[in-house]
């Protein structure tokens, strides 16, 4: 039932009439640039890129696509890792770069209304100017867009305290696959009037419709954030360290990474090793310390962890610059391993299961591909792990990915065993679509397909993502 994907001169003329001649691109370079996201598994092949500037223009494009039975792929900052924004079959790409306005601030509600193309960092900076804070944060904050964050329910480095994007969305304006404009929840905290339809579009990857505006909740600014990086003798020590700190201090982040990840970051020469001791694993934790007793408590916990043998060395930031430098050890990992063409898995399980889960996955990869280099890192404070298998020089990209896809089955069977998720924060897109059944029951998938039909009966919205109809 998915739409066909033929761009006719008549359709191109009508698209131009909607958005203007300078907001249409059909040249090869533009199709390549705006037709892809950060994945390397699929080649982009859109037919046209359009850059609307309003919800009404988006609605007109969607209605036209319905009329001509042509598919649509939404495009934002294109930082996704599941091919959710890859237009691979001649689709119309609707890009939100021109819908990048912060529309209204509601001080009493601690809320801001934004267009979907607002960049994450732009919203963070705006919140700071208002004396507020937007806590959803990750390495791609400088280029990812709010609409894309909502489409994948993005998480990042502060989830342990602040939750996912879903926790900060108070309302949405969407254009459904039918071409209807819906204003959902309208920014209210309390609204008990039936189905909360906005939540269907959060994590929906543009398969039901397109988010064009959002009401976003803001928070007070954190005070005197402190960062610690600790080396642990093995992975089994990581969870006791987490429990020791969480028992006494409200953490804003708790990240982990292995020595392989550390070395890849250090090799780029932008940051230095935080302490002389080399450890198999490291944790980075962050907390607010507006009062001296909290700092004292943190040092007491650190010393206790040293006494228990859970930590073999560590450092605490002494300045804002040092805190930012310590964070780079974690935030620069993805960029540092990119030249190795990593095969990425973004998976999650209950925090309780993390140690056993990692041991099983390590064993699976070691048994099947003992020569592959494994780079572990992730948001261990919320159970989200990033498994990166690095490509050996003697394999082509296609050969490497083919070998990794063989091991995927075993990885995802282990995810299913622990009732985990095959995609913690990057969505399903096309890369995880064959494995959806490892996280969702057949009954759930049937209900999801029924929702798709209700909002997008012609199947024009981001077809081929999540599941096939």
Q: Is the pLDDT of residue 4 over 60?
A: no
Contact 84, 430 (CB under 8 A): yes
Over residues 94-99, mean pLDDT: 98
For residue 369, the model assigns a pLDDT of 82
Over residues 428-446, mean pLDDT: 96
Question: CA-CA distance, 323 to 314, in Å (whole number)?
Answer: 13
For residue 212, the model assigns a pLDDT of 98
Contact 388, 337 (CB under 8 A): yes
Q: Is the pLDDT of residue 32 over 90?
A: yes
User: Is this model's pTM higher than 0.95 or not?
Assistant: no
pLDDT in tens, 292-309: 999 999 999 999 999 999
pLDDT in tens, 165-204: 999 999 999 999 999 999 999 999 999 999 999 999 999 9
What separation in angstroms does the CA of 399 have from each of 235, 267, 343, 405? 31, 26, 12, 10
**Sequence-distant contacts of 183-191: CB under 8 A, at least 24 apart:** 185/215, 186/215, 187/106, 187/109, 187/111, 187/113, 187/215, 189/109
For residue 2, the model assigns a pLDDT of 56
For residue 6, the model assigns a pLDDT of 67
Answer with the residue of higher pLDDT: 111 or 397. 111
Q: Is the pLDDT of residue 1 over 80?
A: no
**Placement of tokens 């960049």 in the chain:** 119
Over residues 25-37, mean pLDDT: 95
Question: CA-CA distance, 151 to 148, in Å (whole number)?
Answer: 5
- CA Rg, the chain, in Å? 23
Q: pLDDT class for 370, splitting at 50, 70, 90?
A: confident
CA 327 to mean position of chain CA atoms = 18
For residue 406, the model assigns a pLDDT of 87
In the chain, pLDDT over 90 holds for what percent of residues?
A: 88
For residue 368, the model assigns a pLDDT of 87
Highest mean pLDDT among 71-85, 183-197, 341-355: 183-197
Helix 354-368 and helix 397-417, axial crossing angle in degrees, nearest 10: 140
Question: CA-CA distance, 157 to 155, in Å (whole number)?
Answer: 7
Over residues 65-87, mean pLDDT: 94
pLDDT in tens, 115-130: 999 999 999 999 999 9
Complete domains list, the chain, with CATH: 9-98 (3.30.43.10), 102-220 (3.30.465.10), 225-337 (3.30.70.2190), 341-426+434-438 (3.30.70.2740)
Over residues 326-346, mean pLDDT: 92
């Amino acid at each position: 039932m998915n739409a066909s994907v033929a761009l006719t001169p008549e359709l191109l003329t009508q698209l131009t009439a909607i958005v203007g001649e300078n907001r249409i691109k059909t040249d090869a370079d533009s199709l390549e640039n705006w037709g892809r996201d950060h994945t390397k598994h699929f080649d982009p092949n859109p037919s046209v890129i359009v850059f609307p500037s309003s919800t009404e223009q988006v609605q007109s494009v969607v209605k036209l696509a319905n009329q001509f039975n042509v598919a649509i792929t939404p495009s934002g900052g294109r930082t996704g890792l599941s091919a959710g924004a890859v237009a691979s079959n001649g689709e119309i790409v609707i890009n939100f770069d021109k819908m990048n306005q912060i529309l209204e601030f509601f001080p009493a509600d601690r809320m801001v209304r934004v267009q979907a193309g607002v960049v994450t960092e732009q919203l963070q900076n705006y919140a700071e100017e208002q004396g507020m804070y937007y806590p959803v944060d990750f390495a791609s904050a400088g280029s990812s867009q709010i609409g894309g964050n909502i489409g994948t329910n993005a998480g990042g480095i502060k989830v342990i305290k602040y939750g996912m994007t879903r926790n900060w969305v108070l309302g949405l304006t969407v254009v459904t696959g039918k071409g209807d404009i819906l204003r959902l929840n309208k920014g209210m905290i309390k609204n008990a009037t039936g189905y909360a339809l906005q939540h269907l579009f959060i994590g929906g990857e543009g398969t039901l419709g397109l988010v064009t505006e959002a009401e976003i909740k803001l928070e007070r600014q954190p005070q005197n954030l402190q960062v610690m990086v600790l080396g642990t003798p093995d992975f089994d020590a990581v969870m006791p360290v987490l429990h020791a700190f969480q028992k006494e201090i409200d953490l804003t982040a708790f990240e982990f990474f292995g020595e392989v990840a550390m070395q890849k970051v250090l090799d780029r020469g932008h940051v230095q090793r935080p302490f002389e001791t080399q450890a198999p694993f490291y944790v980075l934790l962050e907390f607010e310390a507006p009062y001296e007793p909290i700092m004292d408590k943190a040092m007491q916990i650190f010393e206790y962890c040293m006494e228990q043998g859970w930590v073999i060395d560590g450092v605490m930031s002494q300045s804002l610059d040092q805190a930012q430098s310590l964070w780079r050890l974690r935030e620069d990992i993805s960029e540092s391993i990119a030249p190795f063409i990593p095969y990425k898995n973004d998976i999650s399980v209950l925090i309780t299961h993390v140690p056993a889960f990692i041991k099983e996955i390590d064993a699976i990869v070691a048994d099947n591909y003992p020569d592959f280099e494994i780079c572990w890192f992730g948001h261990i404070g919320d159970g989200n792990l990033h498994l990166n298998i690095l490509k050996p020089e003697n394999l082509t990209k296609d050969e490497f990915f083919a070998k990794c896809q063989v091991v995927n089955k075993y990885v995802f069977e282990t995810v299913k065993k622990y009732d985990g998720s095959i995609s913690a924060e990057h969505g399903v897109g096309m890369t995880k679509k064959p494995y959806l059944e490892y996280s969702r029951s057949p009954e759930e998938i049937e209900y999801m397909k029924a929702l798709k039909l209700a909002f997008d009966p012609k199947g024009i919205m981001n077809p081929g993502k999540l599941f096939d109809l």
